[in-house]
Homo-oligomer: A and B are copies of this chain.
Amino acid sequence: MKEIIECVPNFSTSDPKVVEQILNQLKSTPDAFLLDYTFDSYYNRLVVTFVGDKQSVLEAMLKMASKALELIDMQSHKGQHPRIGAVDIVPFIPIKNATMEDCIQLARRFGETLANKHNVPVYLYAEAATKPERKDLDWIREGEYERLAEMIVKPERKPDFGPAKMHPTAGAVITGARKVMVGFNVNLGTADLKIAKKIAKALHSKKGGLSNVKAMAAYIPERNITQIGMSVTDFEATPLHRVFELIKVEASRYNVPIIGSEFCGMAPLKAIIDVAAHYLKIDNLTFDRVLEIAVQNAIEQRESFA
């Protein structure tokens, strides 16, 4: 079976017409498959999840990024999520019959091709980073789009590809390779962003919270509530029930209830299994125990015999 690579690009837009045109680039690429996309005005951000083999993922990603660079103007962009550019971040993730090294190579090819084609600065991050500090998205994104012009000229911030000069409408692009992670948002029964920010801070790994958790607070105007938006980079080491229960504890300090939660992007099976196993105290809940996975493995075994 061919390799499967996942790609989860984040674009700085929530304009439905722009979203549609970006997605059309993906849909017109053979062997690339859209799994999910989500966008909203409060983050003002589009997150797309798709899979394919190396060639189709690279092809689709270059087409989508080119379209986004054409249509998105960062000069008028506002949003609650930190961002440095129109094609803010493009991670490649090995899923099946693929290695992290494959994804690092993909990120390099994507970054170099895009930089040459559009004269846009590109940074490599996470597993593809060329220096230790560049592994950290927050370090690269420091000052965001608004301060990029002054940051990018510093010698230690020279882009990995393209000019050491911000692109006027697109800012800079970050790409790289990483393991599967979880995007998990928890909605709070309060409109008070100050409280939400305190809770987000209590969760964030760098601010005394949980390892492997990045947390930010946002206000959701349609519902007049706030949300803790999180990335859990290692959900096996820091399972979601621990994240959820800690938010519950911190929120109870302010008498704020948790009113719901959601995955942003895809939910890895292991993350779901670990939650169920925790709350039901299940001792034997492995991947192979899940009926659909076991049946799938049996089919693959049969096909490899045939």
Q: Tell me the A residues contacting B by CB distance below 8 Å.
A: 1, 4, 6, 31, 33, 35-36, 51, 95-96, 180, 240-241, 244, 258-263, 266-269, 272-273, 275-276, 279-285, 288-296, 298-299, 301-302
Q: A6-B295, A269-B293 are in contact. List 8 more A-B contacts (CB 8 A).
A: A31-B302, A35-B288, A36-B294, A260-B282, A267-B290, A268-B291, A269-B290, A269-B291
Centre residue among A96, A244, A275, A285 by max chain B CB count within 10 A: A275
Q: Do A280 and B285 touch across chains, with their CB atoms under 8 A apart?
A: no
Q: Do A262 and B284 touch across chains, with their CB atoms under 8 A apart?
A: yes
Chain multiplicity (copies) = 2
Residues on B with C-beta less than 8 A from A244 are 279-280
User: Which DSSP category, helix, strand, loop or mixed, fits chain A's interface?
Assistant: mixed
CB distance from A90 to the nearest CB of B (A): 18
**Given contacts A283-B262, A289-B36, A298-B51, is CB(A272)–CB(B276) below 8 Å?**
yes
Q: Which of B267, B288, B296 touches A291 (beta carbons < 8 Å)?
A: B267
Q: Which of B180, B258, B279 touches A281 (beta carbons < 8 Å)?
A: B258
Residues on B with C-beta less than 8 A from A299 are 1, 4
Closest residue of B by beta carbon distance from A274:
B276
Residues on B with C-beta less than 8 A from A288 are 35-36
A168 vs B171: C-alpha distance in the bound complex, in angstroms?
83
A180 vs B36: C-alpha distance in the bound complex, in angstroms?
28
Q: Do A281 and B268 touch across chains, with their CB atoms under 8 A apart?
A: no
A268 vs B289: C-alpha distance in the bound complex, in angstroms?
8
CB distance from A27 to the nearest CB of B (A): 13
A268 vs B33: C-alpha distance in the bound complex, in angstroms?
26
**Given contacts A262-B283, A283-B261, A285-B263, is CB(A35)–CB(B276) below 8 Å?**
no
Residues on B with C-beta less than 8 A from A31 are 302
